[in-house]
Chains A and B, each alone.
Chain A
Amino acid sequence: MVRSLLMAALAFAVSTAAARAADPRYPNWPCAQAKVPEISLAAVWSGPSLDDAETKWKDDAKVTALVSKLSARKTPMDEAEKSVKEFLAGSAADKTANAKLLFAGLFDTLNAQRSQVMNGLERVSSKQRQAAEKIREETIQLQALQGAASRDDSKVEALSNELIWKTRIFEDRNKVVRFVCEVPTAIDQRLFALGRVIQQEME
């Protein structure tokens, strides 16, 4: 039991490291999709230049409130799109200016959110790498203890238990990482979809 679990953990640790040639620029990036550190404006916006909207959106109370509502992942997308349309419909002559302010705010906020998640992922991934290394070392120790001429059963058991525990934590964290890997993509998706609605409303 101990043995098979350990072997599985080892195989897992090794395979996650080797399954994909890591991007040499970001050795701690744990996700399948190649890392894009931040979203470029040109990737999500084909509307008019944002100019000073990039800084001015923070001065507009209505815009900042809407930005924080729309940026929250708990706000469903259809509700978010509806809010964008209502806000711009009520903007009359300021429509283009308001649209630019709103998108500038979303771009800043969602990009910052995304960076935070990505930094967290890389931190955890680096810790996981250390944990895998430790498990590997202790497995070798355990094998040595098991193979020793005067075998100390209590020591063997203590070390096996510790290894089982560490392996479980390692596996659980890996599952979390895989789940969190989808978050930057979800943020990309939200920003692009909202940008598209804003641009449609401007036309």
Chain B
Amino acid sequence: MLRMWRIGLLSGLALVAAPAHAFIAYVSNEKSNTVSVIDTESWTVTKTIKVGQRPRGIDFTRDGKFVMVAVGDDDTIQMIDARTQAVVDSLPSGPDPELFAQDAAGKLLYVANENDNTVTVIDLERRTRLGDIQVGVEPEGMTISPDGKTLINTSETTNMAHFIDTASRQIVANVLVDARPRFAEFKHDASEVWVSSEIGGTVSIIDPGKHEVIGKVNFEIPGLRKEAIQPVGIGMTRDDKTAFVALGPANRIAIVDVASRKVTKYLLVGQRVWHMAFTPDEKYLLTTNGVSNDVSVIDVAAQKVIKTIQVGELPWGIAIAP
């Protein structure tokens, strides 16, 4: 009896010490045309939602009520109600939307339309199209500055990061990076933009004020061919101290010390690791692995892979409820 009490007390204490926050992650599966819903307490897929064709870019609305997913081959962005986990509406993008970025307030959505050289601007409250920005080149990666004033669009055809002023909707600067830039990420303090280059095998660090490349992150993995190192997704901790870079068919995530711009560790995850998302408490980082069709769970503090979860075919993007 006394023993039972003690166990009860201990487990009660453990609960207080480490409150178990369950979050919900949504993963877009490009090939199976579904979104997998993952519970971060049990680390299992709790639901698979049928969506439009070729789902890629995925994110929550800022209020956490909806998940938006770009379904490129259906030329639209679908909205999933996070409560019912069903598709309830769609947003008017241009043709072949690949991914999108929203401003800090969650009022404006900028959509990269892969096929017609435009970025569509959508009013998220009214769910209407406000207009298009002609970027002149095929838009690929996209991110918005923390103050919402600058939109950055990377292009595979020009190998540049194009800086767009969101007020005038004009390109104000072009910065040359390495071959096939795929993704851009601002530091939370807005002092740097990191741009990954899939073929160049590097991450270029740009000073967003001067529009100049001020540094590069290089990757080298013993025993691995250089061509296998294809940086794509980037995630940065809120304190801007540590960055995580997905290296595609190197099947690894690089952990980068932001200050020194040096890799401190490589973690073996799944095949062709593409994008990633942190849980809101930043305890875990989830990565999508496109060829092994799974999601890896990284313990951020321990810098270790603790779990692999099978999802649909060709998992591409991931978003976690705020």
Contact assessment for B198 and A34 in the assembled complex, using a CB-CB cutoff below 8 Å: yes
Q: Nearest Cβ distance between residue A64 and chain B, in whole angstroms? A: 25
Q: A34-B199, A42-B221, A192-B271 are in contact. Are A19 and B138 (CB under 8 A)?
A: yes
Contact assessment for A36 and B292 in the assembled complex, using a CB-CB cutoff below 8 Å: no
Q: Nearest Cβ distance between residue B118 and chain A, in whole angstroms? A: 16
Q: Nearest Cβ distance between residue B263 and chain A, in whole angstroms? A: 15
Contact assessment for A35 and B291 in the assembled complex, using a CB-CB cutoff below 8 Å: no
Which of A20-28, A78-86, A93-101 has 4 or more CB atoms under 8 Å from chain B? A20-28
Contact assessment for A42 and B227 in the assembled complex, using a CB-CB cutoff below 8 Å: no
Q: How many residue pairs at the A-B interface have CB separations less than 8 Å?
A: 67
Q: A19-B138, A42-B221, A189-B271 are in contact. Are A25 and B227 (CB under 8 A)?
A: yes
**Number of residues on chain B facing chain A (CB within 8 A):** 27
Contact assessment for B228 and A20 in the assembled complex, using a CB-CB cutoff below 8 Å: no
Contact assessment for B251 and A36 in the assembled complex, using a CB-CB cutoff below 8 Å: no
Which B residues lie within 8 Å of A25 (CB)? 227
Report if B268 contacts A (CB, 8 A).
Answer: yes
CA–CA, A33 and B314, complex, Å? 13
Which A residues lie within 8 Å of B292 (CB)? 189, 192-193
Partner of A40, one of B198, B225, B268, B271: B225
CA–CA, A44 and B269, complex, Å? 10
Contact assessment for B222 and A42 in the assembled complex, using a CB-CB cutoff below 8 Å: yes
CA–CA, A25 and B138, complex, Å? 22
Which B residues lie within 8 Å of A37 (CB)? 225, 227
CA–CA, A44 and B272, complex, Å? 11
Contact assessment for A188 and B223 in the assembled complex, using a CB-CB cutoff below 8 Å: no
Report if A41 contacts B (CB, 8 A).
Answer: yes
Closest to B248 in A: A34
CA–CA, A8 and B271, complex, Å? 36
Closest to A46 in B: B268
Q: Nearest Cβ distance between residue A11 and chain B, in whole angstroms? A: 12
Which B residues lie within 8 Å of A192 (CB)? 251, 270-271, 291-292
CA–CA, A106 and B271, complex, Å? 17
Which B residues lie within 8 Å of A23 (CB)? 179-180, 199
**Number of residues on chain A facing chain B (CB within 8 A):** 25
Contact assessment for A43 and B228 in the assembled complex, using a CB-CB cutoff below 8 Å: yes
Contact assessment for A20 and B180 in the assembled complex, using a CB-CB cutoff below 8 Å: yes
Q: Nearest Cβ distance between residue B220 and chain A, in whole angstroms? A: 12
Contact assessment for B249 and A188 in the assembled complex, using a CB-CB cutoff below 8 Å: yes
Report if A185 contacts B (CB, 8 A).
Answer: yes
Contact assessment for A41 and B223 in the assembled complex, using a CB-CB cutoff below 8 Å: yes
Q: Nearest Cβ distance between residue A35 and chain B, in whole angstroms? A: 6
Partner of A44, one of B179, B199, B251: B251
Contact assessment for A36 and B227 in the assembled complex, using a CB-CB cutoff below 8 Å: yes
CA–CA, A41 and B221, complex, Å? 11
B216-239 vs A: 1/0 string, CB under 8 Å?
000001111101101000000000
Which B residues lie within 8 Å of A33 (CB)? 249, 272
Q: Nearest Cβ distance between residue B19 and chain A, in whole angstroms? A: 32
Contact assessment for A40 and B156 in the assembled complex, using a CB-CB cutoff below 8 Å: no
Select the residue from B156, B230, B270, B271 with max chain A CB neighbours within 10 A.
B271
CA–CA, A139 and B292, complex, Å? 45
Report if B44 contacts A (CB, 8 A).
Answer: no
Contact assessment for A21 and B159 in the assembled complex, using a CB-CB cutoff below 8 Å: yes
Contact assessment for A35 and B156 in the assembled complex, using a CB-CB cutoff below 8 Å: no
Contacts of A40-87 to chain B: CB distance below 8 A: 40-44, 46
Closest to A44 in B: B251
Partner of B223, one of A18, A38, A40: A40
Report if B157 contacts A (CB, 8 A).
Answer: yes
CA–CA, A189 and B249, complex, Å? 11
A residues in contact (CB < 8 Å) with B: 18-21, 23-25, 33-44, 46, 185, 188-189, 192-193
Q: Can you name 27 A-B pairs with beta carbons within 8 Å?
A: A19-B138, A19-B157, A20-B156, A20-B180, A21-B156, A21-B157, A21-B179, A21-B180, A24-B179, A33-B272, A34-B180, A34-B199, A34-B227, A35-B227, A36-B249, A37-B227, A38-B225, A40-B223, A40-B225, A41-B223, A42-B221, A42-B224, A46-B268, A185-B272, A188-B249, A188-B272, A189-B271
Closest 5 CB pairs of A and B: A42-B223, A40-B224, A36-B227, A42-B224, A36-B228
